């Protein structure tokens, strides 16, 4: 039975077409996946279904739901549908909740708004809904900041399902979460579809998730619907070239050429612990301290490519900051080429560079690319080459990372995410460091772009004999780009060794659960 029928939906924001003429049907209890790379218009399509498009947008076409055209009904009428018949879960659990209201009140708001139950039943209804979404032990009087990301996402889901809507739209509901949490949230959504008959529109860029839980898939590219059908069939036939391209990108394996590995240690981390003082220091009490990194030891030899895997809060970032000398150790030491790294000794800076996750946030938007790439020269001080030579090195680097030479005169906002990451890599390479730290460097990128960047990294290290530490929460990335890896949990290294061996035959239970939780493609019987 068709519950929702979308015909020729189009959306333009400030006259710019974002969604072009898409049509699809949604049946009861079905999970429909809306997928595509960033900028494909999938989130805007969802907002159009909710009638929550940003100011300055225009929509066309017909959205037929329950005998009404949602593109035509009044705002008043739409308010009565939202939350009751059609509800939505958003990507960012950290910001999707009002920080000033406790979660019980935020969940009950949906009930109160639609006058769903008598005031004295409210408490019970909230409790029941919270139990249903897996928040059984959680007190409804808690505030959002007292919950983890996964718990917050469950609260958002509770608000969306407490009135048993016909349709639940989930916009990248797990993208901001750890893999193990992601698996649990997806399980929950699946349960709503199967047991409660709620139809779900799941927006995701992750084809493996689509393959695992969706009944139907719609693939969008630049606002156009390019492919649709049952995931099994779509992924088996790969009829459309764009589907084929995305599919091969997500299952692509990179072959790392062997690097020459020297015997001497480039970086040595020796039983390093880092304690943070918690903020509740009183006037007279010292406050408790939190061990963010606990007795961590490893080393990187010249030419070695090491991965570091862990979920949020595992201490990865603290460890990175410590290696960069931005955070002092509580005990243990870190040596670079036999010399200690500390807050005061910064000469090692010439030989360690870093590439961060968010390439936009890590560049000054008011400087031209030439200056941005040349920035590490300042760290060299007097040893920096002459200005004309710097310019020619910058050009050389642009060529190396595959960007046109006229990029030097542009500003960072003129580039796409992938190009920005290339610029970040050029900046890291410009002073020919011996070690580069990639901190979630490809996590914010679309799959096809991610593969290009990984390929670039692998080519460059081969050409320059570089060593790197690659930090990621994503096991497939680590598998592709490193030979050895460390698995970190709660500040400790729980497993280390050859990447292939760890991924194929994990010894540690935690590593095992990480590998299990990561979404994988089922076999489609490709030749």
State in angstroms the smallest separation of the CB of 18 from another protein. Answer: 17
- Asked whether position 13 contacts another protein by CB under 8 A, the answer is no
> Regarding beta strands 467-472 and 435-439, do their DSSP bridges make them parallel or antiparallel, or are they unpaired?
parallel
The 31-35 sheet, strands edge to edge: 86-89, 167-171, 199-204, 31-35, 216-221, 224-229
Q: How far is the CB of 120 from another protein (least distance, A)?
A: 21
Cβ atoms < 10 Å from Cβ of 11: 23
Task: Give the Cα separation of 16 and 281 in Å (integer).
Answer: 53
Smallest gap, in angstroms, from Cβ of residue 285 to another protein?
Answer: 10
Q: Please report how close the Cβ of residue 115 comes to another protein at its closest, in angstroms.
A: 11
Chain centroid, CA 450 distance in Å: 12
Contacts of 380 (CB under 8 A, 6+ apart): 350, 431
Residue 328 as a binder of another protein (CB under 8 A): the answer is no
Mask for 345-384, x = binds another protein (CB under 8 A): ----------------------------------------
The residues in 38-97 that bind another protein, with binding defined as CB under 8 A, are 50, 52, 55, 75-76, 79-84, 87-88, 90, 92, 95-97
Q: How far is the CB of 51 from another protein (least distance, A)?
A: 9
Query: Interface with another protein includes 102 (CB under 8 A)?
Result: yes
Strand-pair partners of 7: 62
Comparison of 114 and 191: residue with beta carbon closer to another protein: 114
Q: Whole-angstrom Cα distance, residue 380 to residue 10?
A: 54
In this chain, which of 7, 20, 114, 349 binds another protein, going by CB under 8 A?
Answer: 114
Q: State the minimum distance, in angstroms, from the CB of residue 280 to another protein.
A: 5
DSSP string, 452-497: HHHHHHHHHHHHHT-EEEEEES-HHHHHHH-SEEEEEETTEEEEEE
Q: Is residue 279 within the footprint of another protein (CB under 8 A)?
A: yes
Check if the beta carbon of residue 497 is closer than 8 Å to that of residue 484.
yes
Whole-number Å distance between alpha carbons of 167 and 88: 8
Residue with smaller CB distance to another protein, 255 or 283: 283
Residue 129 binds another protein, judged by CB under 8 A: no
For another protein, the closer CB: 92 or 222: 92
Nearer to another protein by C-beta: 91 or 480? 91
The answer to whether residue 283 forms part of the interface with another protein (CB under 8 A) is yes
**Given the complex with another protein, which of 285 and 388 has the nearer CB atom?**
285
Does residue 278 bind another protein (CB under 8 A)?
Answer: yes
The C-alpha angle with vertex 370 and arms to 368 and 374, in degrees rounded to 5, equals: 120
Element (H, E) at 69: strand 68-69
Residues in contact with another protein, total (CB under 8 A)? Answer: 38
Residues in region 140-169 near another protein by CB under 8 A: 143, 145-146, 156, 159-160
Q: Do the beta carbons of residue 486 and residue 502 sit within 8 Å?
A: no
CB-nearer residue toward another protein: 161 or 503: 161
If the CB atoms of residues 287 and 365 are measured against another protein, the closer one turns out to be 287
CB of 60 to another protein, least distance (A): 22
Does position 98 interact with another protein (CB under 8 A)? The reply is: yes
Smallest gap, in angstroms, from Cβ of residue 83 to another protein?
Answer: 4
Q: What is the DSSP string of 324-388?
A: TTSS--SEEEEEETTEE--SS--GGGGTEEEE-S-TTTTS-TTSBHHHHHHTTHHHHGGGSPPHH
278/392 with CB nearer another protein: 278
Residues 6+ apart with CB under 8 A from 329: 272, 273, 274, 322
Q: Which two tokens stand for residue 3?
A: 């519950």
Of the candidates 123, 194, 183, 134, the one whose C-alpha atom is nearest the C-alpha of residue 158 is 134
88 vs 185, beta carbon nearer another protein: 88
Cβ closer to another protein: 79 or 380? Answer: 79
Report the candidate in 473, 210, 211 with the shortest Cα–Cα distance to residue 316. 473
280 binds another protein (CB under 8 A): yes
Note whether 101 binds another protein by CB under 8 A.
Answer: yes
Torsion angle, alpha carbons of 475, 476, 477, 479, to 10? 80
Name the site residues for another protein (rule: CB under 8 A).
Answer: 50, 52, 55, 75-76, 79-84, 87-88, 90, 92, 95-102, 109-110, 113-114, 143, 145-146, 156, 159-160, 278-280, 282-283
């Amino acid at each position: 039975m068709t519950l929702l029928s979308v015909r020729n939906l189009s959306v333009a924001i400030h006259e710019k077409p974002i969604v072009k003429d898409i049509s699809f049907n949604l049946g009861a209890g079905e999970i429909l996946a809306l997928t595509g790379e960033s900028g494909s218009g999938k989130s805007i399509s969802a907002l159009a279904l909710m009638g929550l498009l940003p100011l300055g947008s225009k929509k066309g076409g017909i959205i037929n739901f329950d005998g009404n055209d949602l593109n035509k009904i009044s705002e008043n009428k739409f308010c009565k549908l939202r939350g009751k018949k059609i509800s939505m879960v958003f990507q960012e659990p950290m910001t999707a909740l009002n920080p000033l209201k406790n979660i019980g009140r935020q969940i009950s708001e949906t009930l109160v708004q639609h006058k769903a139950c008598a005031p004295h039943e409210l408490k019970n209804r909230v409790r029941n809904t919270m139990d249903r979404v897996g928040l059984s032990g959680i007190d409804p009087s808690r505030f959002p900041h007292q919950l983890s990301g996964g718990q917050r996402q469950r609260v958002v889901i509770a608000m969306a399902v407490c009135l048993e809507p016909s349709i639940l739209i989930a916009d990248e509901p797990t993208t901001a979460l750890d893999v193990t949490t992601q698996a649990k949230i997806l399980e929950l959504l699946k349960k709503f579809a199967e047991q409660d008959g709620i139809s779900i529109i799941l927006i995701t860029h992750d084809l493996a998730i689509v393959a695992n839980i969706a009944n139907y898939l719609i693939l969008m590219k630049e606002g156009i619907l390019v492919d649709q059908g049952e995931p099994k069939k779509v992924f088996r036939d790969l009829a459309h070239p764009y589907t084929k391209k995305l599919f091969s990108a997500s299952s692509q394996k990179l072959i790392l050429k062997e690097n020459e590995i020297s015997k001497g240690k480039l970086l040595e981390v020796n039983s390093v612990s880092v304690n943070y003082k918690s903020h509740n220091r009183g006037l007279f009490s010292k406050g408790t301290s939190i061990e963010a990194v606990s007795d961590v030891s490893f080393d990187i030899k010249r030419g070695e490519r090491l991965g570091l895997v862990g979920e949020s809060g595992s201490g990865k970032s603290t460890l990175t900051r410590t290696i960069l000398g931005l955070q002092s150790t509580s005990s243990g030491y870190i040596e670079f080429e036999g010399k200690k790294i500390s807050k005061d000794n910064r000469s090692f800076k010439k030989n360690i560079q870093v590439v961060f996750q968010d390439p936009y946030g890590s560049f000054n938007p008011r400087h031209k690319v030439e200056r941005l790439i040349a920035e590490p020269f300042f760290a060299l001080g007097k040893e920096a080459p002459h200005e004309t030579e710097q310019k020619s090195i910058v050009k050389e680097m642009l060529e190396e990372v595959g960007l046109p030479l006229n990029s030097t005169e542009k500003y960072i906002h003129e580039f796409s995410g992938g190009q920005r990451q290339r610029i970040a890599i050029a900046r890291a390479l410009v002073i020919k460091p011996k070690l580069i730290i990639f901190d979630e460097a490809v996590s914010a990128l679309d799959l096809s772009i991610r593969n290009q960047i990984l390929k670039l990294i692998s080519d460059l290290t081969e050409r320059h004999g570089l060593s790197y530490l690659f930090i990621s929460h994503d096991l497939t990335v680590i598998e592709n780009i490193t030979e050895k890896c460390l698995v970190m949990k709660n500040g400790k290294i729980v497993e280390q060794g050859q990447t292939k061996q760890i991924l194929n035959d994990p010894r540690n239970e935690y590593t095992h659960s990480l590998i299990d939780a990561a979404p994988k493609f089922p076999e489609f019987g490709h030749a």
